Amino acid sequence: MAGDKKFIIGNWKMNLNIHEASLYLHKLSGLVKNRRDVEVILAPTTLALQTLSLQVNPRQFKLAVQNFYWRDQGPYTGEVSATQLRGVVQYALVGHSERRHIFHETDKDVRNKVAAAIRNGIRPILCIGETAWEHSSGETQDVLYDQLNGGLANITSDELDQVIIAYEPVWAISAGQGSEPVDVSPSEVAEAVKAIRRQISHLFGKSAADSIKVLYGGSVTPSSVAEYLNIDGINGLLVGAASLNAITFNEIIKKAHDKNR
Ligand code: PGA
């Protein structure tokens, strides 16, 4: 809907070191105009978060962590907690398909992380989506229902206000440099978004389903921004590969802004 705030997230995954991330931020801040109608969120490597949090203009960009452990502190060698990320990030990706499939995160891990983020004042971006196999066997809706039930089991309707859902069909996520973007038809995305809101309504009631923010992600490029943002019920985009270049990412942000005018 025109006029609604849009969320544009750049997920840099395991790319850019601290120095490169800082240079990127410098370049992007020169390109992006302050726009209240578009919330731009950057998800760099955890290593760069501290540096970027000191460098960033918080009115221009927000920061997100790509992953964290759900316990607040303790003997968990190598982990970073949401408590430690307080004040550094405003958002956290939770249950990204790469975490689920490469690092075997379960729905239980995901729901603990959603709760940990909220407990620590960080807005979780819960990523859900079906694999190629589930898609071709017609299981998309069931997978979305299961992942929503699993991911949101520990929170109250009041807390749901903090949650953003990102629908990312696993088969549409570009696996890395050189892989061809996959175009998912807007009608398929629209169906999935309807299913998501239906299940939120079932779990938390109609007004929660109407107000929750739902984003789309998977091979988004500047040329596909408008078609995805035109889908009824889509409030923004989660962008991977195309966010790694500041000029391209700025084009995506500009298009999101133009959509709102
Ligand atoms: P992609 O990644 O835009 O490169 O497909 C999206 C994501 O994984 O969040």
Rounded distance from Cα 12 to ligand 1 centre (Å): 9
Give the count of beta carbons closer than 10 Å to the beta carbon of residue 166: 26
Can you tell me which atom of ligand 1 is nearest the CA of 11?
9
The reply to whether 168 belongs to the active site is: yes
The reply to whether 20 belongs to the active site is: no
pLDDT in tens, 131-171: 999 999 999 999 999 999 999 998 999 999 999 999 999 99
Mutating to test ligand 1, I would choose from 182, 220, 228, 237 the residue with most ligand atoms within 8 A of its C-beta, which is: 220
Mutating to test ligand 1, I would choose from 11, 216, 221, 244 the residue with most ligand atoms within 8 A of its C-beta, which is: 11
Spans in the chain with pLDDT lower than 50: none
C-alpha distance across the termini of the chain, in Å: 10
Rounded distance from Cα 174 to ligand 1 centre (Å): 6
Mutating to test ligand 1, I would choose from 98, 101, 219 the residue with most ligand atoms within 8 A of its C-beta, which is: 219
Q: Enumerate residues 6+ apart whose C-beta is below 8 A from 178.
A: none
Residues lining ligand 1, judged by CB closer than 6 Å?
11, 168, 173-174, 217-220, 238-242
Of all protein residues, whose CA lies closest to atom 7 belonging to ligand 1?
240
Q: Among residues 39, 135, 168, 257, which one is catalytic?
A: 168
User: Which neighbouring-strand residues pair with 239?
Assistant: 10
Surface-to-core class of residue 163, CB atoms within 10 Å of its CB (0-12 exposed, 13-18 middle, 19+ buried): buried
Of all protein residues, whose CA lies closest to atom 3 belonging to ligand 1?
240
Give the count of beta carbons closer than 10 Å to the beta carbon of residue 85: 24
Q: Enumerate residues 6+ apart whose C-beta is below 8 A from 254.
A: none
Q: How far is CA 64 from CA 41, 68, 86, 121, 222, in A?
A: 6, 11, 11, 12, 22
**Residue matched to tokens 């802004």:** 257
Rounded distance from Cα 73 to ligand 1 centre (Å): 30
Q: Among residues 96, 105, 134, 257, which one is catalytic?
A: 96
SS (H, E, C) the chain: CCCCCEEEEEECCCCCCHHHHHHHHHHHHHHCCCCCCEEEEEECCHHHHHHHHHHCCCCCEEEEECCCECCCCCCCCCCCEHHHHECCECEEEECCHHHHHHCCCCHHHHHHHHHHHHHCCCEEEEEECCCHHHHHCCCHHHHHHHHHHHHHCCCCHHHHCCCEEEECCHHHCCCCCCCCCCCCCHHHHHHHHHHHHHHHHHHHCHHHHHHCEEEEECCCCHHHHHHHHCCCCCCEEEECHHHCCHHHHHHHHHHHHHHCC
Rounded CA-CA distance 67/53 in Å is 17
Surface-to-core class of residue 243, CB atoms within 10 Å of its CB (0-12 exposed, 13-18 middle, 19+ buried): buried
The tokens describing 180, both together, are 């061809």
Backbone angles phi, psi at 39, to 5 degrees: -95, 115
Give the count of beta carbons closer than 10 Å to the beta carbon of residue 241: 22
